[in-house]
Structure 1
């Protein structure tokens, strides 16, 4: 009888049946079962996000090459040493061609000892930007950068990570080039640098557990949204008392069977939220609760990044420590309202949708503002080539103002997708400029094979 009524879609009986199972199986035994409907969604291309990734790839390469030149004793980078940078920069063009493309940042001149060998130094605009970036690092190092890195270590099972796994995320987390020694010296209360006994590799671990940092971005968002007296003394939730928190959603347009998608997301949001900083070892790895926990871990990791995005391979190097499943890419394609997966620039990049609004970061970090000026200088050099230096305004107050990049902003707005706010959960909308969408009920989910290794072993 129960089976017949369940097949007829009786919501009351479903609720009673689930409550009965919860009483039988204990507090978390209920969540050891899978109830979420498997909704198949079609991957939809987003031109706005792809443009951002294309632009930021060049900015990152320029910043890393700038750091390499600045760190050289002579201030010169010979052309014969460029090959070692090619893989780590993620460029689709040779490094030599990339350097010559932006004369406002990199100045080409003969090598002092070998005149036939070209070498590159930093142009005045690059020196100015490097100084401003260094000032931003110094201002953010004691608190912001240290807290981002500490939260990453807090999510790791062993509370420690090898430097080889952290270095690829250095640029995304907004860490200075010398962060291991700098943080170990200035924040010995948080970090400890040591060698792993097995292979002698350097590892960075937590010296102590900072309770005040054990809150995820989603928890802080809900605390600020509630803003009620009863929530002023925000207590750290435990697994046993975790409340169901809703992830902000922004779906692409054109999805078929939206009623199924909304019903699926409603069930997903009603699952208890287990913080990435909580011990999740007691949760069934095949349960829906664990799936939501994995979504929370990936959401928090992307929230820690400056630009709310990173490469898939960088996450893969942290997979075991973060407790992610082997084929974790399926999580990105299964929850397109939270994440966007891009194949731009011959790599796989994951973007946190809620981090952007109309093609701009919702909460830009001071370091991201400095990096935006790199793009202004690069774009000027690309447009005007040899005359680019005469078009730049090199005074600090003008260069870092908003008046010099109006054309860039107009171009960005023309390409980026305009979004409209919706009302579903906490924050759900639909992207207006997504293409290749359809309203067919038979849309298939675009899914990447985790064995694919487009990025190789990026360390940039």
Structure 2
């Protein structure tokens, strides 16, 4: 054998050893325990999602009135908005439910055409919202940067961001105001089809820390775990809140113990070196979805909103099965003729664990809506209850939260504890055939 052949064989052996080491590091065979779980309905979270649908629809109508140059909208203009607002009833019937927010009057030129403008209460709440968004602008910029930093090319089409405005707490005109104001962070570009996209200008290392990493960094002894993560040695376990009876099952415990021991992959790391069908990639997907939902105001969003970002977030085609494979982390709701996904740790006994100032203000907005329904039934004497609601900020003069500031204090008074209901007809194979 000549020297050239020996050299070729040596290089081949070296290449194989390197490839084996790389595979060992990045590809974990699907060895997790196979578990079959039943989907459990959570009535408390379903109730929250149900109220969210009406709250979001009212907010969108409020924003439409604010954007209108005339200062009002007509019943004709909103007649076909039912699907857009996610309502199960006609829009005109919906807006008439809430006279404390929307004042009905006859059109100046066409008396038979009903029109709607904001009441003083709704206008005051909108002014409070504007002040909150201005005061927390830096938080919104960081949040938008984080979304872009999780994507493959650091670019997201605006058509995928617009539906997420409510969930991410972005201003209604973020594409015209926030984006251009912070030109050092964002720029508008065109994709191959001529569509407008938002691109990240500068990577900020301080933003590239997930909620889970921050939690480990801040807890006692967590600094050591966080340093281990920086060296690629830490697994970092996700908080779990299983439906009733699931956490005690032996197979479930074994499965989750194996899963939690897998190395944690930051959603801000490049995942291209990880095999798409590996266990490590599955944990990376769980971590990315957990981080994205943690960035939202109410720790939830619609499933199709995340689906529209599948390519940008480097997710497999069937990634939504992750929600039902990990019921201790995610909850999938079928309420309001749509599918919503939430992280369980975001809520405790029907309330947000850590409500933001904007979430608290939305709680006030919902209280005004709820009082509007009561006003329809019980008369004008219910309106004085809203006087203090619209006049004060999110906190009183002493810096303490007001009684009505708790996000779901009123709308979940009948749901003091999370209740679960199992459905025998919907059995989910957690790992099934092993594919995503």
TM range (shorter): 0.7 to 0.9
- Identify if the C-alpha distance between structure 1 residues 245 and 27 changes in structure 2 by more than 3 Å, giving closer, same or farther: farther
Shift of 1:112: 1.1
Structure 2 gaps, min length 5 = 1-16, 397-401, 431-436
Shift of 1:408: 7.1
Shift of 1:256: 8.6
Q: Which residue of 2 aligns with 1:268?
A: 259
Q: What is the CA–CA distance in structure 1 between the aligned matches of 2:182 and 2:394, rounded to whole Å?
A: 33
Q: Which residue of 2 aligns with 1:204?
A: 198
Q: Which residue of 2 aligns with 1:167?
A: 162
**Does 2:182 match 1:187?**
yes
Q: If the length of structure 1 is used for normalisation, what is the TM-score?
A: 0.82
What is the aligned length? 404
**Does 2:109 match 1:118?**
no
Matches within 5 A, 1:343-382: 343-382=334-373
Shift of 1:29: 1.7
Q: What is the CA–CA distance in structure 1 between the aligned matches of 2:350 and 2:332, rounded to whole Å?
A: 16
Q: What is the CA–CA distance in structure 1 between the aligned matches of 2:255 and 2:360, rounded to whole Å?
A: 38
Task: Identify which range, 321-330 or 143-152, moves more after superposition.
Answer: 321-330
Shift of 1:405: 7.6
Shift of 1:23: 11
Matches within 5 A, 1:163-312: 163-196=158-191, 198-227=192-221, 237=230, 241-255=232-246, 258-312=249-303
SS in 2 for 1:64: helix
Contact 1:32-1:287 at 8 Å conserved across structures: yes
Shift of 1:417: 2.2
Contact 2:210-2:267 at 8 Å conserved across structures: yes
Q: What is the CA–CA distance in structure 1 between the aligned matches of 2:19 and 2:152, rounded to whole Å?
A: 31
What do residues 360-396 of structure 1 show as CA deviations (whole Å, max 9, x unaligned)?
Answer: 1111111000000011100001012152434422452
**Does 2:324 match 1:333?**
yes
What do residues 327-359 of structure 1 show as CA deviations (whole Å, max 9, x unaligned)?
Answer: 122100000000000001110000110111111
Q: What is the CA–CA distance in structure 2 between the aligned matches of 1:446 and 1:55, rounded to whole Å?
A: 31
Q: Which residue of 1 aligns with 2:140?
A: 145
SS in 2 for 1:119: strand
Q: What is the CA–CA distance in structure 1 between the aligned matches of 2:129 and 2:83, rounded to whole Å?
A: 24
Shift of 1:436: 2.7
**Does 2:17 match 1:26?**
no
1:444 aligned residue (424, 427, 433): 427
Structure 1 gaps, min length 5 = 1-21, 419-432, 448-460
Q: If the length of structure 2 is used for normalisation, what is the TM-score?
A: 0.86
Q: What is the CA–CA distance in structure 2 between the aligned matches of 1:408 and 1:312, rounded to whole Å?
A: 23
Shift of 1:79: 0.6
